[in-house]
Amino acid sequence: MLHRDQPRTSAPAVGARGPRIVASVLPADLARLGEEVAALEAAGVDWIQWDVMDACFVPNLTFGPDVIAAARRHTALPFEAQLMVANPDVLIARCVEAGCERVIVHAESTHNLHRSLMHVAESGGRAGVAMNPATPVEAVVNVLDLVDLVLVMTVNPGFGGQAYLHSMEPKLRAARAAIEATGRTIWLEVDGGIAPQTIVSCAGAGADVFVTGSTLFQDPQGPAHAVQELRALAAQGMGQRQA
Ligand code: DX5
Which is the closest atom of ligand 1 to the Cα of 153?
A: 8
The pLDDT value given to residue 36: 98
- Spelled out in words, what is the top-level CATH class assigned to the domain 20-242? alpha beta
DSSP annotation string for 129-152: EEE-TTS-GGGTGGGGGG-SEEEE
Ligand 1 touching residue 51 (CB < 6 A)? yes
The pLDDT value given to residue 67: 98
Give the Å distances, CA to CA, from 118 to 125, 146, 186.
10, 7, 16
Q: For residue 189, how many C-alpha atoms fall within 13 Å in the half-sphere facing its CB? A: 30
Which is the closest atom of ligand 1 to the Cα of 157?
A: 6
pLDDT at 62 exceeding the cut of 70? yes
pLDDT at 95 exceeding the cut of 90? yes
Q: Which residue has the higher pLDDT, 6 or 33?
A: 33
The pLDDT value given to residue 242: 82
Test site for ligand 1: of 159, 190, 219, most ligand atoms within 8 A of the Cβ: 159
What are the backbone angles phi and psi of residue 53, rounded to the nearest 5°?
-130, 145
Give the distance (Å) from ligand 1 centre to CA of residue 194.
8
pTM: 0.94
Tell me what the mean pLDDT of segment 182-207 comes to: 98
Ligand 1 touching residue 64 (CB < 6 A)? no
CB of 205 within 8 A of CB of 177? no
The pLDDT value given to residue 6: 46
Question: Which residues participate in catalysis according to the annotation?
Answer: 51, 191
Ligand 1 touching residue 85 (CB < 6 A)? no
Test site for ligand 1: of 51, 80, 131, most ligand atoms within 8 A of the Cβ: 51
pLDDT, tens digit (0-9, with 9 covering 90-100), for 103-134: 999 999 999 999 999 999 999 999 999 999 99
Least confident of 1-10, 45-54, 94-103, 138-147: 1-10
Mean pLDDT over the full length of the chain:
94
Q: In the chain, what is the straight-line distance between the N-terminal and C-terminal CA atoms, in Å?
A: 39
Ligand 1 touching residue 199 (CB < 6 A)? no
Tell me what the mean pLDDT of segment 141-161 comes to: 98
pLDDT at 243 exceeding the cut of 60? yes
Tell me what the mean pLDDT of segment 25-54 comes to: 97
The pLDDT value given to residue 14: 56
Which is the closest atom of ligand 1 to the Cα of 164?
A: 14
The pLDDT value given to residue 130: 99
The pLDDT value given to residue 57: 98
The domain spans of the chain are: 20-242
Question: Percent of the chain at pLDDT above 90?
Answer: 91
Which is the closest atom of ligand 1 to the Cα of 27?
A: 13
